[in-house]
């Protein structure tokens, strides 16, 4: 039998019903983006390439890991919690999703902060805290907000101004501690110890209140502090030796407070805690009913409030700069810088990064500038002395 050439063309064709179209398989798509890196001779991956097959086992974390992640997400720093609380409240008013937020929502909130006339440093700080609070892989693009901030910075010069905390140097600190101790009550003992420690430790208020009794060793002439990490030294522990001074009486004040805790059976956990008017320390069970996420640990805001209280009670005044818990850190740095401490000694004492300009520029230089008066070189003009004698 002879097969004609025109018949051979249909031997491998697929039979279809009338009106039905046969679609060819889609061409494979290149799977690349701007981050793809290929080695010489390596083929461009496409959608036809066999990929790794994942099962549910690869996608889920355990219940214990989920709980640990939840605790880590909710713990955060007080500043981050405040930033997110304000952001979430604004999103609720605007009918927007706060977490994870879109780039549009993030940008709009940045403009909202600018409309309130906040300082550039404050806006940048809040926006950074909000962005880092978003889930991994779902952080908004910050470029649009930063573009707005750059324009805001140029048009609002006052928004660049920083109002640093007033430095509580020893001439201010000693009267504050004495006033706190005047009534000889445990809450005054705590506050005096907290102020002396904050000044000598040169720490941020969150580092002060996060300190545990297990981290302290009080000797006859110093307080030894083990610090797991701080803002500058992440994952790097340190042992600090805080030598005593006659005017500061750090050892006496810390030992008096720690002994008061020990008398009530407290030898572990936070050093600085809530104190009742009668001098007793609320139990953990009592605190659990009303406590915040801080539990037995004081809030940094409490330190702030106590510093303001005793500064005013001692009859002290400032040069217009605000008094806050940060004033203790500023005071210690200022006293060191004004009395000949080198840059390296300042950096080490306050645990600033090597080469940081903060201690000199933020704490020492303003005091020197305020005290400097080049016009003292100009003789006092006395008109009466210039009059000719008759």
Q: Are residues 154 and 223 in the same domain?
A: no
Name the strand (E) or helix (H) holding 351.
none
In a domain, 380, yes or no: no
Q: Which of 94, 126, 160 is the last residue of a domain?
A: 160
In a domain, 105, yes or no: yes
Q: Are residues 208 and 337 in the same domain?
A: yes
In a domain, 27, yes or no: no
User: Hey, which residues does 239 pair with through a beta bridge?
Assistant: 226
In a domain, 331, yes or no: yes
User: What is the phi/psi pair of residue 30, to 5°?
Assistant: -65, 135
User: What is the phi/psi pair of residue 241, to 5°?
Assistant: -115, 105
Tell me, what CATH number does 211's domain have?
Answer: 1.10.443.10
Taking alpha carbons only, the member of 91, 176, 180 closest to residue 130 is 91
Domain of residue 236, residue span = 170-370
In a domain, 1, yes or no: no
The pLDDT of residue 160 is 61
Q: Are residues 145 and 184 in the same domain?
A: no
pLDDT tens, residue order, the chain (390 aa)? 444 544 444 444 444 455 555 566 677 777 777 778 888 888 888 777 666 667 888 888 898 998 887 777 666 666 788 889 999 999 999 999 999 999 999 999 999 999 998 888 889 999 999 999 998 889 999 999 999 999 988 888 765 666 778 999 999 999 999 999 999 999 999 999 999 999 999 988 888 999 999 999 999 999 999 988 777 667 678 899 999 999 999 999 999 999 999 999 999 999 999 999 888 988 766 555 544 567 889 988 999 999 999 999 999 999 888 999 999 999 999 999 888 888 888 888 888 888 887 777 777 777 777 777 888 888 888 777 556 555
In a domain, 45, yes or no: no
Q: Are residues 106 and 233 in the same domain?
A: no
Neighbours of 277 (CB within 10 A): 8
In a domain, 71, yes or no: no
Q: Are residues 297 and 246 in the same domain?
A: yes
Number of domains in the chain: 2
Neighbours of 199 (CB within 10 A): 29
Q: What is the DSSP string of 260-328?
A: HHHHTT--SSBSS----TTSPPPPHHHHHHH--TTTTSPPHHHHHHHHHHHHHHTT---SSSPP-THHH
**pTM for the whole structure:** 0.64
The pLDDT of residue 282 is 85
The pLDDT of residue 103 is 95
Tell me, what CATH number does 127's domain have?
Answer: 1.10.150.130
Q: Are residues 123 and 229 in the same domain?
A: no
Q: Are residues 125 and 198 in the same domain?
A: no
Do β-strands 238-243 and 222-227 pair in parallel, antiparallel, or remain unpaired? antiparallel
Q: Are residues 235 and 342 in the same domain?
A: yes
In a domain, 57, yes or no: no
């Amino acid at each position: 039998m002879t097969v004609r050439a025109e018949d051979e063309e249909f031997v491998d064709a697929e039979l279809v019903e009338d009106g039905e179209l046969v679609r060819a398989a889609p061409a494979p798509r290149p799977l690349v983006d701007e981050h793809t890196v290929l080695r010489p001779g390596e083929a461009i991956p496409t959608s036809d390439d066999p990929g790794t097959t994942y099962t549910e086992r690869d996608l889920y974390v355990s219940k214990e890991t989920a709980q640990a992640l939840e605790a880590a997400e909710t713990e955060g720093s007080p500043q981050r919690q405040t930033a997110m609380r304000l952001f979430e409240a604004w999103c609720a008013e605007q009918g927007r999703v706060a977490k994870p937020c879109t780039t549009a929502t993030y940008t709009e909130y940045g403009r909202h902060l600018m409309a309130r006339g906040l300082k550039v440093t404050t806006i940048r700080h809040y926006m950074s805290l909000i962005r880092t609070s978003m889930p991994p892989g779902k952080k908004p693009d910050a470029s649009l907000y930063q573009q707005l901030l750059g324009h805001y910075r140029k048009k609002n010069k006052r928004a660049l101004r920083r109002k640093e905390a007033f430095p509580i140097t020893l001439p201010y600190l000693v009267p504050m501690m004495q006033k706190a101790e005047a009534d000889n009550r445990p809450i005054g003992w705590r506050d005096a110890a907290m102020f002396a420690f904050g000044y000598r430790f040169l720490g941020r208020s969150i580092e002060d209140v996060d300190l545990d009794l297990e981290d302290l060793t009080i000797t006859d002439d110093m307080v030894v502090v083990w610090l797991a990490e701080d803002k500058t030294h992440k994952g790097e522990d340190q042992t600090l030796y805080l030598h005593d001074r006659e005017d500061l009486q750090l050892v006496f004040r810390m030992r008096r407070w720690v002994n008061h805790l020990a008398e009530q059976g407290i030898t572990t956990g936070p050093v600085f805690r809530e104190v009742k008017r009668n001098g007793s320390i609320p139990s953990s069970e009592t605190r659990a009913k009303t406590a915040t996420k801080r539990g037995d640990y004081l809030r940094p805001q409490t330190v702030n409030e106590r510093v303001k209280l005793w500064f005013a009670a001692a009859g002290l005044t400032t040069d217009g700069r605000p008094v806050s818990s940060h004033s203790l850190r500023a005071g210690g740095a200022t006293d060191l810088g004004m009395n000949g401490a080198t840059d390296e000694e300042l950096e080490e004492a306050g645990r600033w990064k090597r080469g940081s300009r903060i201690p000199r520029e933020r704490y020492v230089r303003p005091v020197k500038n305020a005290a400097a008066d080049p016009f003292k070189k100009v003789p006092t003009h006395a008109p009466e002395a210039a009059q000719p004698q008759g």
